[in-house]
Amino acid sequence: MIEHSRPWITDADRAAVDHQLISGMIASLEKTRQFERALNDRIGASGSIATTSGTAALVLCLKALSIGPGDEVILPTYVCRNVMQAIVTTGAKPVLCDTGDFWNATERTITDRFSSRTKAIVAVNIFGISAELAGLREHPYLIIEDHCQSLGLPKPMFGAAAFYSFHAIKCLTSGEGGAAAFSDRAILSRASELKDAHNPAGAMSDLQAVLGLSQLSRYDRMLARRREIAERYFAELPARMTSKIAEVASHSIFFRFPLCMGGDFDSIQSRFGDRGVAVRRGVDQLLHRLVGQSDSDFPSAVALFNCTVSIPIYPAMSDDEVDKVIEAVKAVA
């Protein structure tokens, strides 16, 4: 079975981790600080703080920005439920919005949810596709960029904060882990104080950090491989399935490759499985359904949820595996 996603672990990764184990220095010390500095250079942040997960990183961002009870935070319904849970953890109220035509929320769907209690917006870049939300800076709300699936988008930070995940199947991995990044040094200082005083985000270990550093050192190769696989998919898969992702290809790192397919998802997944290929929905569930809100308020997200099938695309894939995925799509189409 070709997994839907798996990490690309090389001999260099294993050697880095082994060397750190031999050194005996595996707590959160110099390698973690080194990873934070390398990440800052990559993303253009004033500073970042490594955490135990992407969810913990978002909680730290929210607390550093003084977001809590009485505040509303807007986020799309089409995103991982952990994003909503992080907001709830702070005591703030998550306010869900619809998406546009290309899986991400838009400036219009977000501004439709503004209220007198709006304090912040989580700007999600789902599937590695830039949400193109810089225009939101015109509004007096704090913007927190979600880059858990989009590390490497060639744009500087435009929000007050950003968060990243380095889970096993994210853009790069440290096994587990995440990071909160900040554009303003005063907010960075507050985040550091919060972490030291209350430890709301936990700490990334040096053992995790050396794996992250090794992965980060070849991250351009990872991005290049993703694009190479995407180009094969565009060239060889039915255009009716790839037309939507093709429209946003110029601002995507191809963390995921979503196809638009009609029919029952469970049946489609089973037919792919029969051909040795694991596929998934774009997201496991729509958040508004978890909190009892009507589908009628989120028509675009519901339509995308019903038609999206995510096929494997990751740097560890071999050319033979890419061939097999292409053959499976053509057979299922």
- Domain range annotation of the chain: 11-217, 219-332
Q: What is the mean pLDDT of residues 225-249?
A: 98
Name the CATH topology of 219-332: Aspartate Aminotransferase, domain 1 (3.90.1150)
Q: Are 279 and 237 in contact (CB under 8 A)?
A: no
- Report the CATH architecture of 11-217: 3-Layer(aba) Sandwich (3.40)
**Residue 197 reports pLDDT greater than 90:** no
Q: Are 151 and 41 in contact (CB under 8 A)?
A: no
Question: Tokens 């501004």 — which residue?
Answer: 111
Three-point CA angle 126, 131, 136, nearest 5° = 135
Length of the chain: 333
Q: What is the mean pLDDT of residues 25-45?
A: 92
**Residue 199 reports pLDDT greater than 80:** no
pTM score, whole prediction: 0.95
What tokens were used for 130? 């830039």
Q: Are 202 and 170 in contact (CB under 8 A)?
A: no
**Residue 287 reports pLDDT greater than 80:** yes
**Residue 200 reports pLDDT greater than 60:** no
What tokens were used for 278? 């694991």
Q: What is the mean pLDDT of residues 49-73?
A: 96
What tokens were used for 94? 């998550």
* Greater pLDDT, 11 or 194: 11
